[in-house]
């Protein structure tokens, strides 16, 4: 039986990866210590996901461990020697990183280093897929020529019609401290691949989403927006007239790409993984879409102050991924993703 180690296994991508590979008959070990509840309070608690996985996934085994625990991680890799590693654990919030700088860097950069070194010592041939972020580009995408349309900002240069490529600069821009710690992790993943000849990749996610997301205001744009609408609460738009654009990829399609990488790994690679132009939406467009699904008007207020380091328009160019892995592609449309998230939140809010 193939052995997969997943960090952040109660999070959005981690839990999707657990379900995906459990259904393939792999033995899946999930590392999670519910740090999200510490970061975001009760609304970020993911124990319910862990409980669901334990009930639904017969090949899943939970491991209560903090990835900052260096010796604990080394001991785990020594004992398990996993065939594959999927690293999704992170402190994911721009805003929180500014108030908890040590925690942010220790989790995102230090935790990633602990995992990479443990893999190097005990299973250097095992493919290692790391969930990075598009925030490694900082706010440099905002320096592109942008045009203001009725409901969104968009790229004014035809060269960027399909979005941001992996060759885009990550240097000399404002990242937020979260972005900086993720840059460190991203480069470490590349370096272990190139320097130590290990099969690694950093997946620079756009807006990762899906029905298992515990969206909160500081993290999880689409899930949180849909939750606010269904609960008839008030949403705050932070700057850019609500026309800021994100491309959204369903967690299932992320898991599918990780599988493709495991089957044909490369060394020290980076990929921009998002929904692409077809799955992009602005906040205003997202309001319209969820209103048409729920039948409830979107209540919101506007703040002129945009978030530090935030992108005005970000769309992932998927051409590199699709050229390296031609059998992979987006299977979940934006409409389907909205409907699945709405259905999930309706069930949770009814409890």
pLDDT in tens, 279-288: 999 999 999 9
Q: Are 44 and 223 in contact (CB under 8 A)?
A: no
Rounded to a whole number, what is the largest CA-CA distance in the chain?
57
For the chain, give every domain's residue range.
Answer: 3-350
Q: Are 249 and 279 in contact (CB under 8 A)?
A: yes
Q: For residue range 231-277, list pLDDT tens digits in order.
A: 999 999 999 999 999 999 999 999 999 999 999 999 999 999 999 99
CA separation for the pair 57, 44 (Å, rounded): 22
Q: Which residue has the tokens 């409907």?
A: 339
Can you point out the beta strands (E) in the chain?
Answer: 3-7, 27-31, 60-63, 84-87, 128-133, 146-148, 153-155, 200-205, 207-209, 234-238, 245-250, 269-273, 280-282, 299-303, 313-314
Residue 215's pLDDT is: 75
Q: For residue range 127-155, list pLDDT tens digits in order.
A: 999 999 999 999 999 999 999 999 999 99
Q: For residue range 66-84, list pLDDT tens digits in order.
A: 999 999 999 999 999 999 9
Residue 111's pLDDT is: 98
Residue 318's pLDDT is: 98
pTM above 0.85, yes or no: yes
Closest to 302 measured CA to CA, from 315, 317, 283, 318 = 283
CA separation for the pair 136, 221 (Å, rounded): 18
Q: Is 271 helix (H, G, I), strand (E, B) or coil?
A: strand
Residue 78's H or E segment, with its range, is: helix 70-80
Instruction: Quote the tokens at residue 200.
Output: 């690694």
CA separation for the pair 249, 86 (Å, rounded): 18
Other beta carbons less than 10 A from residue 125's beta carbon: 10
Q: Which residue has the tokens 């039986």?
A: 1
DSSP states along 293-340: HH--PPEEEEES-PPTT--SEE-B--HHHHHH-TT----S-HHHHHHH
CA separation for the pair 34, 14 (Å, rounded): 12
CA separation for the pair 2, 28 (Å, rounded): 8
Residue 306's pLDDT is: 87
Instruction: Quote the tokens at residue 265.
Output: 């790994």
Domain 3-350 has CATH 3.40.50.720: yes
Supply the DSSP symbol for 170. Answer: -
Q: Crossing angle of helices 334-350/283-294, nearest 10°?
A: 60
Residues of the chain with pLDDT under 70: 218
């Amino acid at each position: 039986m193939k052995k997969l180690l997943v960090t952040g296994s109660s999070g959005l991508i981690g839990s999707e990866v657990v379900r995906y590979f459990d259904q393939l008959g792999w033995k899946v070990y999930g590392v999670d210590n519910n740090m999200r509840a510490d970061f975001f309070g009760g609304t970020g608690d993911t124990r319910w996901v862990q409980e669901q996985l334990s009930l639904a996934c017969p090949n899943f085994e939970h491991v209560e461990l903090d990835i900052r625990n260096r010796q604990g991680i080394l001991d785990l890799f020594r004992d398990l020697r996993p065939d594959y590693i999927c690293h999704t654990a992170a402190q994911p919030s721009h805003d929180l990183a500014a108030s908890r700088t040590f925690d942010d860097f220790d989790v995102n950069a230090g935790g990633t280093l602990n995992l990479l070194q443990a893999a190097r010592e005990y299973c250097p041939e095992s493919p290692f897929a790391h969930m990075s972020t598009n925030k490694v580009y900082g706010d440099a995408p905002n320096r592109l020529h942008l045009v203001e349309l009725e409901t969104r900002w968009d790229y004014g240069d035809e060269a960027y019609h399909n979005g941001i490529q992996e060759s885009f600069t990550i240097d000399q821009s404002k990242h937020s401290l979260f972005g900086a710690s993720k840059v460190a992790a991203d480069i470490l993943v590349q370096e272990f691949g190139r320097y130590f000849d290990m099969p690694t990749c950093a997946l620079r996610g756009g807006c990762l989403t899906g029905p298992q997301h515990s969206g909160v205001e500081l993290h999880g744009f689409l899930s949180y927006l849909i939750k606010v609408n269904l609960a008839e609460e008030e949403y705050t738009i932070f700057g850019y007239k609500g026309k800021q654009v994100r491309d959204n990829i369903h967690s299932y399609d992320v898991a599918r790409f990780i599988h493709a990488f495991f089957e044909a790994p490369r060394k020290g690679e980076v990929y921009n993984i998002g929904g692409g132009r077809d799955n992009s939406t602005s906040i205003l467009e997202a309001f319209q879409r969820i209103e048409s699904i729920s039948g409830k008007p979107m209540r919101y207020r506007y703040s002129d102050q945009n978030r530090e380091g935030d992108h005005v328009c970000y769309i992932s160019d998927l051409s590199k991924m699709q050229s390296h892995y031609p059998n992979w592609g987006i299977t979940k449309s934006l409409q389907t993703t909205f409907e699945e998230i709405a259905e999930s939140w309706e069930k949770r809010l009814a409890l």
